[in-house]
Each structure stands twice: as structure tokens, then as C-alpha cells.
């Protein structure tokens, strides 16, 4: 038997710590058994654990879209017992038992090896949030953004994606503007590398179809009206990499900035991103952000604190990221 968080929907939704048999786990599709050392709490995990959105596609389900740990046994020719590995997304906690668990059973081809300059804790300190930030930044770089061509806006600055996006863009020499509802955290944003901080609440109401051009690019995690306002404030040929929906799934925008300013709205998905994109994102993280720099922004919590912290994440009241210590 091993311990995991367990979601059930009958007779009603519940999320509890539960003992599960290894036989049950081995019914999942896979070829590699991993002893999980760490998992993490992303916004999506919080949605799942608090039943705030339909993340699990079947029940019962183990939540957790990420995990890191050590291979116990594998029939994948590229893996052996003792290898340090991790996984982000690929259906974990949706249609495959997830990472908030002492054991995981997955396909070896979906695992990545922990980069040389990181350990299993570090990769979960980034988690899907940090890796998605890197996907967004790579998308902006592919568009051709340049440090001398203006400011780059990052929304949800106090959260996982926003925090890492600020760090990456600042290290690449960009002038980063942190957009946050927590302006009192300004010293923290400066410490991450932001040059300026803007109050996100000013973006929560419609500011008009076409507004003053202010940013060459943006990373957005809010969606909805804030995303429409960001589009309306991009410079000519600007781009926003949009990956989140913390303010809503809708997009009440107009075509004006698209056809009058040639802007691009680039959607970014981490869950099914192909392996080359994943490896490129992790290469960017490991080249630019040291283990020390990421881990000093992280809180570590125990398994049994995951439910309470998830509620705070949904309320948007906490700062930074949480690694869950499993083993």
C-alpha cells in the first residue's frame, strides 16, 4: 500500500489522504514505476483539489500534474532504477493518476531526466508553472522580441508562471513590468528583476478597443478582460503569449489591435507540448535560473497541508509557489 491524495465524486466530491494498493496503480497505462520525492501545487491542482473546475476526467483520481523522483523499475530502454526523473502534465491528474502520491506509474517516454544543475526539489520548485513560463518566453523570442524594443508586461506576477516569466525575461535583458493585484509586493517584484510594477486592478475593467501602445510583448495568465486590455495596449507587431484564465475563460476583445496594429495572440499549452518544446523550455530554465535563485522563492509543505493551501491559491491571496514533500 502507498499513500496518495484521492479524489472521489460519489456520493459527493471529496479529496482525502488515502491508502492505495500498488495493484490499483499498475492498472494505469505505463512501463515505469517512480518513487515520488516531490510534487507541487499549481493553479490547476488547486482547481482540481477544491473541485473548482472539471480537471479530473474520471474518478477516483489522484491529483497532481507534476512529480519528481527516482525510477524504481522500468521496461523503457532509456531508463534504469535510480535515475532521477520528473514529469509535467501529459494527462496526470486528468485521465492518469497524478503526482500527489508516494508512487507513480507512467510511460517512460513522458519522463524527463532532471537537468545536471538541478535536483528533484528544484524541478518541482519550477513545476508546470515555471516550465509554462519558459514555453511562453520561448514563444515571444521566436516572434523576434528584442530588449531594446520596449517593455514586456507579465501578469499574475505574484504567481508561479508570472514569477518565473519575470526572472527569465529580466535575465535576457528585457525591461519587465510586473502586473499584479499585490502592489504591496513591489520589493519582491524588483528582486525578481522587474523594472516597474503596475496595478492589475486597472486592467479588470474594459479600457477601450484600442488604447495607448505601451508594450512590445506580454505574458498573460489572467485571460478575460485583462487579456483584451493587454492586446489593446501592445505596440505595432506586438505579441502576447497567453496561457492562463485566472480572471476567466472568456475573451471580450475587438479585432481592432489585430488588424490595425498587426498584433499576435499566441496561445500556449504545457500539457501536451511535444518533447522538443519541453526540452527547450527546461534548457532555458536551467541555463538562466540557478537552483538557489528558484528555491529561495519556494515554500515547502507536507502532504496534509495541500488541501488548505489549494483554497488560498484559488482565492489568489498567496504569493509564490509551493512544493509538496512526499518522500
CB of 108 to ligand NDP, least distance (A): 22
CB of 116 to ligand NDP, least distance (A): 25
Among the listed residues 32, 40, 48, 132, the single contact to ligand NDP using CB under 6 A: 132
**Dist. CA 105–CA 142, nearest whole Å:** 35
For 217-257, the DSSP string reads EEEES-BHHHHHHHHHTEEEEEEEEE---TTBS-----SHH
Q: Which is nearer to ligand NDP, 85 or 245 (CB)?
A: 245
Residue 138 touches ligand NDP, criterion: CB under 6 A: no
Residue 230 touches ligand NDP, criterion: CB under 6 A: no
Among the listed residues 8, 213, 316, 325, the single contact to ligand NDP using CB under 6 A: 316
Residue 270 touches ligand NDP, criterion: CB under 6 A: yes
Residue 200 touches ligand NDP, criterion: CB under 6 A: yes
Among the listed residues 154, 161, 265, 323, the single contact to ligand NDP using CB under 6 A: 161
Among 77-85, 191-199, 243-251, 301-309, which window interacts with ligand NDP (CB under 6 A)? Answer: 243-251
Residue 142's Cβ-count burial label (10 Å; 0-12, 13-18, 19+) is exposed
Touching ligand NDP, residues 285-314 (CB under 6 A):
313
Closest CA to 223 of 159, 183, 185, 267: 267
Query: Distances from the Cα of 26 to the Cαs of 34, 95, 184, 295, in angstroms?
Result: 11, 14, 48, 33
Q: Which is nearer to ligand NDP, 193 or 316 (CB)?
A: 316
Cell digits for 286? 536551467
**Dist. CA 250–CA 242, nearest whole Å:** 12
Assign 5 to helix, strand or coil: strand
Residue 281 touches ligand NDP, criterion: CB under 6 A: no
Give 167's Cβ-side CA count (13 Å radius): 31
Query: Distances from the Cα of 169 to the Cαs of 137, 245, 289, in angstroms?
Result: 7, 21, 11
Residue 67 touches ligand NDP, criterion: CB under 6 A: no
Among 11-19, 70-78, 169-177, 242-250, which window interacts with ligand NDP (CB under 6 A)? Answer: 242-250
Closest residue (Cβ) to ligand NDP?
159
**220 Cβ neighbours under 8 A, 6+ residues apart:** 155, 156, 226, 227, 230, 240, 241, 242, 243, 244
Among the listed residues 55, 103, 241, 243, the single contact to ligand NDP using CB under 6 A: 243
Assign 89 to helix, strand or coil: coil
Positions of E strands within 166-315: 176-180, 196-199, 215-220, 234-242, 264-267, 298-302
Among 17-25, 128-136, 277-285, 290-298, which window interacts with ligand NDP (CB under 6 A)? Answer: 128-136
* Total of residues contacting ligand NDP (CB under 6 A): 30
Residue 88 touches ligand NDP, criterion: CB under 6 A: no
Q: Which is nearer to ligand NDP, 93 or 128 (CB)?
A: 128
The residues of the shown chain that bind ligand NDP, judged by CB under 6 A, are 42-44, 128-129, 132, 156-162, 180-182, 200, 221-222, 243-247, 268-271, 313, 316
Amino acid at each position: 500500500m502507498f499513500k496518495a491524495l484521492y479524489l472521489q465524486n460519489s456520493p459527493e466530491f471529496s479529496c482525502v489522504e488515502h491508502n492505495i494498493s500498488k495493484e490499483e496503480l499498475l492498472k494505469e497505462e505505463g512501463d515505469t514505476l517512480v518513487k515520488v520525492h516531490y510534487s507541487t501545487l499549481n493553479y490547476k491542482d488547486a482547481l482540481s483539489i477544491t473541485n473548482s473546475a472539471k480537471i479530473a476526467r474520471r474518478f477516483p483520481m489522484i491529483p497532481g500534474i507534476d512529480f519528481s523522483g527516482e525510477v524504481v523499475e522500468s521496461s523503457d530502454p532509456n531508463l534504469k532504477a535510480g535515475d532521477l526523473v520528473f514529469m509535467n502534465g501529459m494527462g496526470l491528474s486528468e485521465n492518469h493518476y497524478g503526482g500527489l502520491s508516494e508512487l507513480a506509474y507512467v510511460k517512460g517516454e513522458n519522463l524527463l531526466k532532471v537537468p545536471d544543475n538541478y535536483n528533484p526539489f528544484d524541478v518541482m520548485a519550477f513545476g508546470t508553472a515555471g516550465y509554462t513560463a519558459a514555453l511562453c518566453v520561448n514563444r515571444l523570442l521566436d516572434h523576434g522580441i528584442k530588449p531594446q524594443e520596449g517593455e514586456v508586461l507579465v501578469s499574475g506576477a505574484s504567481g508561479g508562471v508570472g514569477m518565473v516569466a519575470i526572472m527569465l525575461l529580466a535575465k535576457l535583458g528585457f525591461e519587465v513590468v510586473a502586473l499584479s493585484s499585490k502592489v504591496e509586493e513591489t520589493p519582491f517584484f524588483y528582486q525578481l528583476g522587474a523594472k516597474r510594477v503596475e496595478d492589475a486592478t486597472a486592467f479588470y475593467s474594459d479600457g477601450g478597443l484600442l488604447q495607448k501602445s505601451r508594450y512590445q510583448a506580454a505574458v498573460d495568465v489572467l485571460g478575460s478582460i485583462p487579456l483584451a486590455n493587454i492586446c489593446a495596449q501592445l505596440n505595432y507587431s506586438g505579441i502576447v503569449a497567453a496561457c492562463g484564465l485566472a480572471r476567466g475563460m472568456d475573451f471580450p476583445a475587438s479585432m481592432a489591435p489585430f488588424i490595425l496594429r498587426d498584433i499576435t495572440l499566441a496561445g500556449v499549452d504545457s500539457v501536451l507540448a511535444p518533447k522538443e518544446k519541453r526540452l527547450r523550455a527546461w534548457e532555458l530554465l536551467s541555463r538562466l535560473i540557478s537552483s538557489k535563485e528558484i528555491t529561495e522563492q519556494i515554500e515547502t509543505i507536507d502532504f496534509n497541508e495541500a488541501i488548505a493551501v489549494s483554497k488560498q491559491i484559488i482565492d489568489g491571496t498567496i504569493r509564490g509557489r509551493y512544493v509538496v514533500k512526499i518522500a
